[in-house]
Structure 1
């Protein structure tokens, strides 16, 4: 594939389809005579960046694989390019919760059919109910069957399952396990309509913590699996006293499986639930992994082990505890995933879930669980030995800018491993999902030829045995599931602030890069000096008090150093927003969620001084021309500084919303020009949308066409002497979309279409200062998206 840099042209053969402006009113189509441009949309490559709770192989067709994410939609594997294609970019802001995918199922009888259970939260954060999406063309297009309840794609327990399952004996039947006491549901028409299975007796009762709203939901019906030898249907339920049910008459009636409570519902005195299952339809076994917590975060309970691996002989009803007897850590914190090799059914693998230190463990058995081998082990002390080497070159940020500290490696097997799948057509291929990526190999069976990792000699000393390691590499290329909070386009360089993984500096949009080396747990804000773009600043949430929140680069983002901490700002979180003056001489920082008022620095963050005249939490932006001028907004009041941010004063502006301003930015090349995006304020009688000022915020004009606006940014002008192109994520006539103006805001056109909406894209937007028409935008789970005018 041709690598695309910042200066490369946009070819018509791009992977993403071109989009049109669609049918718009005259004011939107005209746009100075340049409306209706077709756009091509892509991602700046990060490769991963978030939790992959499910990977599903089709059992009939080789190479047909799906992956689901908790907030960033789902993907289909492309075998020829070894990349993933996003399938839910069409989800719009009105149904943004559908980007959280709680389960997927691929049809083993008709492989073109695929299903996705969607809905992000079972609590009121998501105003909409969930749905089951169905596709007859492998996810290229979808229909939706809306449900009368919510689903939890980003709730506790999202790595359990799969909650969706196609009946291989009658593929028109699709089952859905639901949370919140809604029971077991079934479709008999390929997912078009759904009804509750009234004969199913148990909706579950397991609650993690009834005092915590996000942990108080009943985990419900967890998974469905099919015994094709005896024609039985098994259903796992989050109820330690009654965790497993079976139907022997095609789902008409259901009975509790004898012995299941003792086998699955307790472990060393801890209540446990059946998190995942796998069926061996050759030897007649149902395997179940349990945990005391639905995951994906928690480790072992305060005492005792947190889970088991149990084997049920489906023909005789005999239960066998096949939990590995040994773990280098000493206890099993709980299990996450389990998978069976369909080519060699006596071979199975399981993963720990949140074996936080030093690393997760993969277990492998070639004798139906009678004995196990481990992915790594200790010799004497903490001398660690591994079966495979981790190659993170596909996502170099996976080292987290750290170094190996044996036995803890900078590049880990992962954490939160619940997606674990051996290719049913190829015993050598496995993929597993983590909280950050997908790992995989096509050399898995080399494991079996290695023998033991550790041997014993006299006096019980454990010594390493020689093994020829195979390689495990990144298999997340094309999956972009970061939540992006801010962007700065310098021209040839794109700087980002990103949730959970800090941020990045891209000079090649097709290449994943290391993360910014500042220690941020989440990047929250970035800026650069307009007249001296070598100076780049950023801020982010941090853990503890070891480093300051603000990072500074003087070489266009190549290297970074941490500014000094500010007294009174707590170490955890509190990234806030940051700005730098047009000449780079001063940095201004507003700590987030803190009572500390904004501060400024005249020495690139070596020391800080309190700003006078601003309340805590005020957002600050710099004028892009005059180095002495900065702007701030808080609580409906617009402020201006003319002394480099040392003091601010109220401009006296009226008519601005009091608390619903999402973003404001100053215009490059135009002193005193400021644009502001907001939602309006019904109580104050102030409409939402966009406002602009040409006098440094003293007076404002509302752009009435917008009902709401969430971000505003600027890029290269359409004409040499023209006003910079203006971009916004906003709403017109009830349609949330990406809009552009090339004539100073007199006319606007929509530049995305209904196939490219990315659920929500409101945190920040910016054009490119050197490439006309290019726009970068943030998403909440689909990474950094950018668009170019198609050739």
Structure 2
């Protein structure tokens, strides 16, 4: 089951052993093992090789009764709780397994102000079954996310779909916490639970399921789903402890009917009179002191777009509406919608709002201390519309890659759909972006013409999608990663975010390789950004510096297949590249020139033998290919029985010529094909399947166990009916599972490798939880 590349587009787009001792431990793994059909145990500890952030933080939610209790949700990487002592985020959803990988897309989060131990997540990544076969669920915890129970739902929610920054869609009645409401997309309407989320039923009296579809022509596609019911907001003054709140407001994705109200605890509903039309409500906030409801609206679902919008204030005592937009939609200066919205609970006349998106030159935060009558901007524009006077500075030392190797003045962010002032501290606020969390502890200095000191606040939150990993046998760095959206990194200290690869800079790096006998030579391919045009880079000094290619294969449209698009010969003298839109090509001058290979289909994944520089391998549609002339030409081998579809990964074994391991296949009934793990010891002429492996997905190699001659083998697979991360120290005769059910990390089918210098250490890719590495205890 291969999920689609998750982010679609996010921005326009050790001394490792010594450092490990200082890192925070996620938790020890009492990992079970599958060997000869029996379950055994071996303990492992898992950590992140830190990037700090890297993905879209769609929501930040403060508990309204307990100071310091705050959560964050992400579009593909699950949910987190902030540890107030360390100011690091604690991951809460690593227990989600392979078969429910879609439950790491969190569309909404609710923390209970009556019982702060209670936490709820609305989980489900996509509405398209082919992208995410699982239906959505409510995940419930009574211990702040340490343990969970699941309530299945009969629909999909779209945690990584358009409009995912809207809301919160899931809310708890502040007076009677047994009651929860959930706004659902896809025309499914408004749903309610009266038993702490154990069950939900549709609120049949609610009149409008929404009708706004980002792209009606994209039927059943990513942009073809009705955004539906968006948010529920309580006027908690209309209830008391133990009694359901009488008055609540619901926003809807219908540009003609955006707001409904109930005054009888949800039994009946009316369209709020006099309401504005023409835009989609992104966030609503209720002022429980003044009785005002604030709305931030935009013309689109977001998070990537939005060209017009307004901010509105409703006096709920008189049903009087006032447009309080910092820049009204009727102004020629308004080229953006509004989204992130918050009020200062200590001073409810103080509110902030953000532009939904403003790619150039930057998003804007606005602040008012008089209920929206007047506003100031966090930066003022010059005559050319560029940032001029600023009321802030940014410390991004915790994540230096945030400049994307471009301007030394980083952006405030993009996709800034969650802006939150701490309800107990007017000086403390945080906001999410498409790449990180920023925050400050001196926010009110803004009101005294001071400088707000922003800094990265995403420590512990790792939300990158990892595409490829390599661990060379020599050099200063134990690990190189290729990531979606944020390029990739050379990790010299696993506890510190590095700078992004440069020369060229990539927005995503699907493939890396190093020369096994000359590991200072490393190649990478990716999607160029920050003014670069080249898709290929090479280093001859172990990744310290990089040089872009002098040319590219004719017709190239992209870097190629994830994790297997480029291979370098064992001696580093020849590169074979399988880009998108062009023939598989070879170069022996570091990419200055390219020549099409013979005998190989375009787009075929490629690998090099790790001993013999003349040998390269490739695969396409069940056929395995061998080159014995350094990748100039390939011929099909006689191998049979390999999968013809699905997620396919293969690698050659260091130190063993002609030794290849092959993982892949699919369990989808529409594409019947073998699904498992195979090995060849004759350069791909034949393969033998490992009977113990029910489903094989990715394989890699690391330093041999003490006394062993063959490298340790690592795989993310299902073995003897158990899905997990496994290691074999005897070439696959026996396997031990090294993760456990609390540390599953959802989908882990992109890349895995052992460390050739540290026995037992494994690095593996996740689709939203960053680069994980594990060591035996």
TM-score range, shorter chain: over 0.9
Question: Paired residue for 2:3?
Answer: none
- Distance, in Å, in 1 between the alignment partners of 2:459 and 2:222 is 31
SS state at 2:538 partner: strand
Question: 642, 649, 652: which is aligned to 2:638?
Answer: 652
2:452 counterpart of 1:470? yes
Deviations along 1:35-55, one digit per CA (max 9) or x if unpaired, are: 632011111100111111100
1:629–1:640: 8 Å Cα contact kept in structure 2?
yes
In the TM superposition, 1:71-110 aligns within 5 A as 71-110=76-115
Question: Paired residue for 2:571?
Answer: 583
Q: Note the C-alpha offset of 1:186.
A: 0.9
- Distance, in Å, in 2 between the alignment partners of 1:182 and 1:319 is 29
1:544–1:571: 8 Å Cα contact kept in structure 2?
no
Q: Note the C-alpha offset of 1:24.
A: 4.1
2:33–2:735: 8 Å Cα contact kept in structure 1?
no
Question: 226, 231, 246: which is aligned to 2:261?
Answer: 246
Question: 209, 213, 226: which is aligned to 1:207?
Answer: 213
- Distance, in Å, in 1 between the alignment partners of 2:706 and 2:459 is 37
Question: 534, 548, 551: which is aligned to 2:520?
Answer: 534
Closer, same or farther: CA 780–64 of 1 in aligned 2, 3 Å: same
2:520–2:543: 8 Å Cα contact kept in structure 1?
yes
2:57 counterpart of 1:52? yes
Question: 710, 714, 720: which is aligned to 1:727?
Answer: 714
Q: Note the C-alpha offset of 1:387.
A: 0.4
Q: Note the C-alpha offset of 1:493.
A: 2.3
- Distance, in Å, in 2 between the alignment partners of 1:423 and 1:248 is 29
Question: Paired residue for 1:775?
Answer: 762
Question: Paired residue for 1:285?
Answer: 292
Question: Paired residue for 1:169?
Answer: 175
2:149 counterpart of 1:143? yes
2:202 counterpart of 1:196? yes
1:540–1:575: 8 Å Cα contact kept in structure 2?
no
2:379–2:387: 8 Å Cα contact kept in structure 1?
no
Question: Paired residue for 2:229?
Answer: 221
- Distance, in Å, in 2 between the alignment partners of 1:684 and 1:308 is 49
Closer, same or farther: CA 23–571 of 1 in aligned 2, 3 Å: closer
Question: 499, 511, 520: which is aligned to 1:514?
Answer: 499
- Distance, in Å, in 1 between the alignment partners of 2:666 and 2:191 is 42
Closer, same or farther: CA 417–695 of 1 in aligned 2, 3 Å: same
- Distance, in Å, in 2 between the alignment partners of 1:526 and 1:23 is 30
Most deviating of 373-382 and 742-751: 373-382
2:725 counterpart of 1:738? yes
Question: 457, 469, 472: which is aligned to 1:487?
Answer: 469
Question: Paired residue for 2:320?
Answer: 318
Q: Note the C-alpha offset of 1:438.
A: 0.5
2:368 counterpart of 1:368? no
- Distance, in Å, in 1 between the alignment partners of 2:709 and 2:280 is 64
2:641–2:674: 8 Å Cα contact kept in structure 1?
no
Question: Paired residue for 2:406?
Answer: 402
**TM-score, length basis structure 1:** 0.91
- Distance, in Å, in 1 between the alignment partners of 2:464 and 2:80 is 14
SS state at 1:729 partner: strand
Question: Paired residue for 1:393?
Answer: 397
1:28–1:750: 8 Å Cα contact kept in structure 2?
no
1:547–1:562: 8 Å Cα contact kept in structure 2?
no
**TM-score, length basis structure 2:** 0.93
Most deviating of 202-211 and 728-737: 728-737
1:276–1:337: 8 Å Cα contact kept in structure 2?
yes
Most deviating of 471-480 and 328-337: 328-337
Q: Note the C-alpha offset of 1:372.
A: 0.3
RMSD across aligned C-alpha pairs, in angstroms? 2.1
**Mind listing any 5+ residue stretches in structure 1 that lack a counterpart?**
30-34, 267-271, 301-305, 451-467
How many pairs does the alignment contain? 745
Q: Note the C-alpha offset of 1:299.
A: 2.8
- Distance, in Å, in 2 between the alignment partners of 1:513 and 1:10 is 15
Q: Note the C-alpha offset of 1:383.
A: 6.3
SS state at 2:423 partner: coil
2:618 counterpart of 1:632? yes
SS state at 2:212 partner: coil
Q: Note the C-alpha offset of 1:541.
A: 2.3
1:14–1:40: 8 Å Cα contact kept in structure 2?
no
Question: 301, 304, 309: which is aligned to 1:297?
Answer: 304
Q: Note the C-alpha offset of 1:10.
A: 6.6
Q: Note the C-alpha offset of 1:635.
A: 1.8
- Distance, in Å, in 1 between the alignment partners of 2:124 and 2:688 is 39
